[in-house]
Chains A and B, each alone.
Chain A
Amino acid sequence: MSDVVATTPQETVERALALSGADDRMVIADEGSTANLRFAGNTLTTNGVARSSRLTVISIVGQGVGVVSRSAVRPDQLADVVAAADRAAREAQPSEDARPLVPGTASADWDRAVEPTNIEVFRDFAPALGEAFAAAEASGRRLYGFAEHTLTSTFMGSSSGLRLRHDQPTGRLELNAKSRDMARSAWTGVATRDFRDVDVAALDTTLAQRLEWAKRRVSLDAGRYETILPPTAVSDLMIYLYWSAGARDAADGRTVFSRPGGGTRVGDRLSDLPLRLYSDPAHPGIECAPFVVAHTSSREESVFDNGLTLGSTDWISGGTLSGLVQTRHSAELTELAATPRVDNLIMTGPEGGRSLDEMIADTRRGLLLTCLWYIREVDPQTLLLTGLTRDGVYLVEEGEVVGEVNNFRFNESPVDLLGRLTEVGASGQTLPREWSDYFTRAVMPPVRVPDFNMSTVSQAN
C-alpha cells in the first residue's frame, strides 16, 4: 500500500465525481480539526488535538441511491470507494425522495486551502485559565469545565455542477465553580468562534457571586412556581422543540405538531405573545452553513436537496406555528414550503424586552434557574419533557435573590409552555447547557413562566 496522502479535498471531490459511473453523483469532503482542554478541581484532566478527514460518495442510478462514507481515504483507495457507492446505488430500491439535483453554483473560496485549528488557539486562554485556577484556589472555589475549538471545512461537489464550500468554526467554554465542600455549585458557558472574546476572569467573577448567593439555603417542596428561565434553559427547551418539528413525522400523526385526524398543525396559534422562533444562517455571531448538507437521507433531510440555498426560516411567527422541518419531497406531501433544517435557532419576543436582571428586579416571589439537565421526552403526543434543574436554583423575593433552593425534577412541554409565558425578555447569544455537544448556535431570551411544574425534589446539589 502507499503511505502517501497527497491531495486536497477539492481534488478528491473532482476525482471522485469523475470516477463514478452513476447517472448522478454527489461528493462531500469534510475536513475537521479540533483542540480541547478539560479540567476539574482547578487542574487539567484531559486534553488533545485531533484531525479528521471524511469522504462521502453519493451515487444515484435511476432513483436508487448508494452512500458510502470513508475516513482518511488515500488516493489509491478512491476508486474502490466510488465503486462501492455505485454498486450500492445499482442494487438499491427506488428512493421516494428522488428529485432532480440542485443546479450548479460555486463558492468563491472553493480553491482556498484548509486552515485547521490546533492547540495554539488556547495560547492566551490557557494561561488566563491557569490564573483563574489560582484565584479560585485562594478563594476556596474549585473550577471544572471544558474548552473546545473545532473547525470543519465542508466541500460539496455534484454532477449538476455544485462546487460549494463552508468553513464552520465552533468554540465553547463551559465553566462550573463549586465551593470547596462541593455543597454549592454554579455554572456559566459561552459560545465563541475563536476564543479571542472569552474573558475567563469575568466569568469566574459571575460564578463567585452566585456561590455567595447560595450560602443561604432554602428548602422548597415540589409544586408549581413562578419561574424565570435564563436564555440557556430556554435554548435547551426550544432546541428539543426544533428537533421534534419534522413535517413528515407530524403528517404521519406521530408528534405534538400532528393535527388529530390528519395533517399538521401549521397555522395553529401556540402563544398569544408575538413570539418568533426562526433560523437564519447569516445571523451575526451564529453564522452557519447557507446550503443543505445531507450525508444520507432520513425523515427530515434528503441527499437530493444537497446544495439547496438556506435562508431565514420562520418556525413560529407571531405566536403561530408557521413552518416545520422538511425536504422538497415531504413539502409535496404536506403541501407546505420546503424548509430544510438550519444549524442555528433564534427566539424573540415583543419589542422592548427586558434584561434578565430587570426581570429579577421585577419579581415579587419566584425562582430563578441557572440551567436544565438530562432532558428527555416522556410523551411525544404533548412533547412532555422531563429533566432536572442544575447548578443553582435561586429564590427571588421582592426583586432580590435571597438564597439558593434545592434542585427539582421538572415535567413540562415546551409547546405548552409557549402558551403560558407571561414575559419574554431581550434575546442574546447563549450556550445551550444540555445540547452543546450538538448545537451551540442559539440566540434566546429569558422568559417568565407563572406555574413551572417542579414534579419532585432532587437531592443533587
Chain B
Amino acid sequence: MPEARPVVFVIDDDASLRRALERLLRTEGYAVEGFASAQAYLARAPYDGPGCLLLDLAMPGIDGLELQQRLTRDAASLPIVFLSGHANVPESVNAMKMGAVDFLTKPADDADLLAAVRAALLQRDTQLAARERLATLSAREREVMHLVVEGLRNKEIAARLGITEKTVKVHRARAMEKTGATSLPELVRLAAEDSPPSPPDRAQP
C-alpha cells in the first residue's frame, strides 16, 4: 500500500505567518492545511493518517495549550509542535509535559522547524504502526495487555478476568508476538497508543 503524503496542520491566527509556514512546509513535500483558529481546526473532519500539528500558542478564543489539552484526551491525537511568539518557561514546560514534540520560538529557523516537524511525523508513524499491530489483537488479548501494562501479575489478572493463570500466559505471549514487542517496556509504550477497554467491573477498583 503506497504511503499517504503526511499532512501538516498549521494553526495560527496570523494569516501572513500561516501562509509563509505553509509554503515552507510544502517545499519539503508535505501536504499542508492551514487554520486561522483552534475552533476552525476542531470543526474539520477527524484525520486519521500520517501528519502532525504546527500550533501557535497565543490565539484568540481557544489558545494552543487549551487545544492540546482537548486533543490529547484522545489517544489517537496527532503529535504537536508548538510555535510561540515569546518563550515562556512555564508554558513550554507544561506543553512538553502534555506530550508536545517540540516547543519553538518565533521566528524559528527552517532547519529547526523542519526537524521538529520530521520528529513529529516520525512519532506519528510509530503511533500508526503500533495501532495497526494493536488492531490485530483479540479483545481478550487486548484486555490482558492493558492489565499487564498496569503492572498486575498473571495471577491477579487471572483473578480479575475469571480465567486461569495459564490462559493469561498464553494471551500475554500472543499479544507480545502480534505487536512485535520484545520486552515489557516496549509493550507499555505500544499500549499507550491504545485506549484501554473499560469493562463494567473496572469501574470500582
* A and B part of one assembly: no
